[in-house]
Amino acid sequence: MTLFAIGVGGTGAKCLEALTHLHACGLIDRGDGGAGRRSLGTFLVDPDQQSALLLRAQTAISRYGALRGAIADRSDRFARGDLHDYGHWSPLSNSSGAVSLDQVFPKAILTNQASGLAGLFDCLFPPEEQQADLEVGFRGRPPIGAAVMNRINLEQEAQTGQWQRMLSDIQAAAGNGEAPVIHLFGSVFGGTGASGVPSLGLLLKNWLREQNLGSVTVQASLLLPYFDFDGQGDGDTGVHAEARNFQLNTDAALQYLRASGPSCFDRVFLVGSDLKARFGFSIGGTSQSNAAHLVELLAALGAREQAPANASGYAFVLSRARQGQIGWEDIPDDEAVGAALAQGARFAVAWLNNLSLEIDAAQQVPMGTFLSGAPWARRFFSPSGAPTATSGGRPPIRDATELSLKTCIDRYAETLLQWLQQISSNVGSGFEQELFSPETLKRTSSPDNALHKVVRGKARPDRPEASDTVETIKIAMDGLPAAAISRVGMAGLADALWTLCA
């Protein structure tokens, strides 16, 4: 099973960031046995190449990709989901360097050769929209995005670049008898997502029909308003997204979805929030660094949903049990999702704030000295500190390849921790979450031990507080029967920690 996820715009990129973390936690696998492991393909669509949100999603994707590549088949449970990164594509990339609407649709040529079209162009887009620099996105104006997006020729794009790689993989997956899913993510209240998601959905559906790929499902998570801006633009920012337009854009998008939705998507998931988070105003680019939000997690979880054989319904929504609070019971498939996210959070804390620091400390002292205080390490690394015949394949703790893998784990765990910290602390005023303790989801410079506060609510492992520590995990590692440790080295250590963090 392969899931092809396309994030459109800044919010779409944030959803892909969330989806990557869900995949790392093993949540794209449905555990349905016969279907095997699911791989995830990610593709980011955004004209704003400097977007901090895009950069953050790319960081999560590339760090997990690097980790997955370094781990390969050296673990049994940790980081087992394959990831294909198709990269980033800008809808302006085929416009010969054009950065504004009147360059995408050359105004002078239109006026000379088709004055009627030029008049229509002037009628649809006021001068400030025609001249706005689109390199920071479509400025919260779906009509601008729709005009640009609808110029995309998917048949032509399928011949080269990222589209070619992704579309040929979709064809290959469908040809292998799989039932690939294309899942689009984007907001309906901004500019890029609101215009790009339906446009790309329509283009993909048409392309699939032309290719006779009936087994491929196209679905989308559409994000309704869930944040407001703390400030607003001024005259210098030019055309920009305005929070007062969010509702209007949403109404228009939902009306379009009602009329033409099935031609774009086989089904949609609509997620938003009545209690809004507040982000600082930005027209886009590097200054647009909105923190991750729970709604993006919920949107990403839509990609896990498999259509039942006799599926009915087109649009799916979510609700929560309490007005001012969200808990695990409000999360779809909360048992599995809660357990996996709790495992991921506990792993990231235990790894970064303890075991990684321990491995660093081991570089400074003789192996024998280190082992005298850390007997667990001899289960994974050569006790003599050198590869010997008696080490049973255990590599030295100072082996360059092992340390390189450690760096990959460190980087990804840090990204995961930062994301978890953001979704648990950035919920908006008057709204609480009972999922994680944000104050524990931080990297510490000295070894930390406690894990009992990391997860809140029903997903928290049922262990006494005093024994829910990294120290307990280390002792358990030391006492594991030989058969339970099938992997050695850094990958084996991470694999054992991942298992014991459950």
Does 185 participate in binding another protein (rule CB under 8 A)? Answer: no
Quick check: 366 binds another protein (CB under 8 A)?
no
Q: Which of 448, 451, 493, 500 binds another protein (CB under 8 A)?
A: 448
- Least Å distance between CB 484 and another protein? 13
Secondary structure of residue 121 in the 3-state scheme: helix
The piece of 22-30, 276-284, 409-417, 443-451 that touches another protein (CB under 8 A) is: 443-451
Q: Is 384 in the site for another protein (CB under 8 A)?
A: no
Whether the CB-CB separation of 146 and 124 falls below 8 Å is answered with no
From residue 433, alpha-carbon distances to 84, 103, 374 in Å are 32, 46, 37
Q: Which of residues 90-109 bind another protein (CB under 8 A)?
A: none
**Site of tokens 């357990």:** 339
362 touching another protein, by CB under 8 A: yes
Contact 402, 394 (CB under 8 A): no
Q: Which is nearer to another protein, 45 or 374 (CB)?
A: 374
Q: What are phi and psi of 83, to 5 degrees?
A: -135, 130
Tokens standing for residue 439:
């104050």
Give the interface segment with another protein, choosing from 83-91, 276-284, 362-370, 427-435 (CB under 8 A).
Answer: 362-370
Q: Which stretch binds another protein (CB under 8 A): 324-332, 338-346, 408-416, 441-449?
A: 441-449
The distance of closest approach from Cβ of residue 372 to another protein in the complex, given in angstroms and rounded to an integer, is: 6
Say how many C-beta atoms besides its own lie within 10 A of residue 238's C-beta.
Answer: 15
What is the DSSP secondary-structure string of 432-477?
EEESB-GGGSS--SS---B-TTTB-GGGS----GGG-BHHHHHHHH
- With a CB cutoff of 8 Å and minimum separation 6, the contacts of 314 are 261, 262, 267, 268
Beta bridge partners of 300: none
The least CB distance from residue 466 to another protein, in Å, is: 8
Q: Give the interface segment with another protein, choosing from 46-54, 74-82, 264-272, 474-482 (CB under 8 A).
A: 474-482
Among 470, 490, 494, 500, binds another protein (CB under 8 A): 470
**β pairing state of 227-229 and 277-279:** parallel
DSSP structural state of residue 352: I
357: contact with another protein by CB under 8 A: yes
The one among 238, 375, 457, 461 contacting another protein by CB under 8 A = 375
Q: Which is nearer to another protein, 309 or 389 (CB)?
A: 389
Answer yes or no whether residue 378 interacts with another protein by CB under 8 A.
yes
Residue 414 burial (C-beta neighbours within 10 Å; 0-12, 13-18, 19+): middle
User: Per CB under 8 A, which of residues 317..356 are in contact with another protein?
Assistant: 354
Q: Which of 121, 281, 370, 381 binds another protein (CB under 8 A)?
A: 370
Q: Is 85 in the site for another protein (CB under 8 A)?
A: no
Give residues in contact with another protein (CB under 8 A): 354, 357-358, 361-362, 369-375, 377-379, 446-449, 469-472, 474-475, 478
